[in-house]
Amino acid sequence: MHEALATKTTHRARPHRRVAVVAALLALTMAPLSVAWAQDTSTSDEAKPDQVLHMEVGEMYFQLSGQDKNASFTLQSGTSYAIEFHNVGHVMHEIQLGRDPGTEDGHPHDYQTLLFDGVETTVASGDVSTISSTLVEIQLEPDAIAPLNFTLPASAAGTWEIGCFQPGHYEAGMHAPVIVQ
């Protein structure tokens, strides 16, 4: 996660060496998947979902199996889902679901309303599953896979969007409508 890269240096003699050592140690321990949460997380096993969907994430697109790139897709409230995201691209991509993109420095940046606000989600990475009640984003390095498990409540009904807010990606069309019924 981004917070792990923040360091303070009190000695000016070798701040670049210290940052390089911290970055090298983090690179050895970080998985190709980062998940941002708005609340604390814990680990647990997840029951088998009702629906399993496979979504490719690539250069400027999301593609659900059997559909066109950036095509809208529908989710049913009350149905348990596992969406397996696979970054088939050559750069890191973010996965966010929400509405009303905000702006930062004149560019789209993060949804102001999150689809998973108050919804229990589980994201797996290796042998660990992480549970949260407010998923903000998933960051996928090239060739990484992240299964996301959730069940949406009836109150989530409406039109949402899936998008990537890496610099230039959203503007290049990397977003698609998500309908919750």
Q: What is the pLDDT of residues 121-180, one digit of tens each?
A: 999 877 667 888 889 999 999 999 999 999 999 999 999 999 999 999 999 999 999 999
pTM score, whole prediction:
0.75
Domain 32-180 has CATH 2.60.40.420: yes
**Does 20 have pLDDT greater than 70?**
no
**Does 27 have pLDDT greater than 80?**
no
pLDDT for 9: 19
Long-range contacts of 73-76 (CB under 8 A, 24+ apart): 73/176, 73/177, 73/178, 73/179, 74/178, 74/179, 74/180, 74/181, 75/152, 75/178, 75/179, 75/180, 75/181, 76/152, 76/180, 76/181
Instruction: List the 42-43 sheet strands across, edge first.
Output: 42-43, 128-132, 121-125, 145-151, 80-87, 51-58, 61-64
H/E element holding 49? none
pLDDT for 39: 41
Over residues 67-95, mean pLDDT: 97
29-73 confidence digits (pLDDT tens): 344 555 554 444 444 444 789 999 999 999 999 999 999 999 999
What are the sequence ranges of the domains in the chain? 1-30, 32-180
**Does 7 have pLDDT greater than 90?**
no
**Does 19 have pLDDT greater than 80?**
no
